Amino acid sequence: MKCPLCGLEFEESEGLAACKSCPVSRTCGLVKCPNCGYEVPGDPQVVKLIKKWRKNKNET
Protein backbone atom coordinates (compact mmCIF):
# COMPACT_ATOMS: atom_id res chain seq x y z
CA MET A 1 0.00 0.00 0.00
CA LYS A 2 1.04 3.60 -0.47
CA CYS A 3 1.14 6.38 2.08
CA PRO A 4 -1.02 9.30 0.90
CA LEU A 5 1.12 11.74 2.85
CA CYS A 6 4.73 10.99 1.88
CA GLY A 7 4.12 8.56 -0.98
CA LEU A 8 6.18 5.74 0.51
CA GLU A 9 5.13 2.29 -0.60
CA PHE A 10 5.21 -0.31 2.15
CA GLU A 11 3.79 -3.66 3.16
CA GLU A 12 0.66 -3.61 5.29
CA SER A 13 2.42 -5.89 7.80
CA GLU A 14 5.14 -3.27 8.25
CA GLY A 15 2.55 -0.66 9.06
CA LEU A 16 0.76 -2.93 11.48
CA ALA A 17 4.03 -3.58 13.29
CA ALA A 18 4.62 0.16 13.53
CA CYS A 19 1.22 0.56 15.18
CA LYS A 20 1.89 -2.22 17.68
CA SER A 21 2.37 0.15 20.60
CA CYS A 22 -0.98 1.80 19.93
CA PRO A 23 -3.29 1.20 22.94
CA VAL A 24 -6.17 0.34 20.63
CA SER A 25 -4.04 -1.56 18.11
CA ARG A 26 -6.39 -4.51 18.08
CA THR A 27 -9.37 -2.44 17.09
CA CYS A 28 -8.06 0.74 15.47
CA GLY A 29 -7.59 -0.92 12.06
CA LEU A 30 -5.02 1.66 11.04
CA VAL A 31 -1.76 0.99 9.26
CA LYS A 32 1.01 3.34 10.26
CA CYS A 33 3.47 4.58 7.68
CA PRO A 34 6.98 3.51 8.78
CA ASN A 35 8.42 6.68 7.27
CA CYS A 36 6.28 9.60 8.45
CA GLY A 37 3.98 7.94 10.99
CA TYR A 38 0.78 8.84 9.15
CA GLU A 39 -1.98 6.40 9.97
CA VAL A 40 -3.65 4.96 6.91
CA PRO A 41 -6.96 3.12 7.24
CA GLY A 42 -5.78 -0.28 6.04
CA ASP A 43 -8.70 -2.54 6.81
CA PRO A 44 -11.51 -2.24 4.26
CA GLN A 45 -13.96 -3.70 6.78
CA VAL A 46 -13.32 -0.83 9.16
CA VAL A 47 -13.80 1.68 6.35
CA LYS A 48 -17.07 -0.03 5.54
CA LEU A 49 -18.16 0.24 9.17
CA ILE A 50 -17.30 3.93 9.29
CA LYS A 51 -19.20 4.57 6.07
CA LYS A 52 -22.19 2.71 7.42
CA TRP A 53 -22.01 4.65 10.67
CA ARG A 54 -21.80 7.93 8.80
CA LYS A 55 -24.76 6.99 6.64
CA ASN A 56 -26.82 6.13 9.69
CA LYS A 57 -25.86 9.39 11.33
CA ASN A 58 -26.97 11.38 8.29
CA GLU A 59 -30.33 9.67 8.23
CA THR A 60 -31.20 10.47 11.80
* Contact residues for Zn ion, defined by CB under 5 A: 3, 5-6, 8, 33, 35-36, 38
Between 12 and 53, CB nearer to Zn ion? 12
Question: Rounded to the nearest whole angstrom, what is the least distance from the CB of residue 17 to Zn ion in the complex?
Answer: 15
Question: Rounded to the nearest whole angstrom, what is the least distance from the CB of residue 5 to Zn ion in the complex?
Answer: 5
The β-bridge partners of 41 are: 30
Question: Rounded to the nearest whole angstrom, what is the least distance from the CB of residue 50 to Zn ion in the complex?
Answer: 21
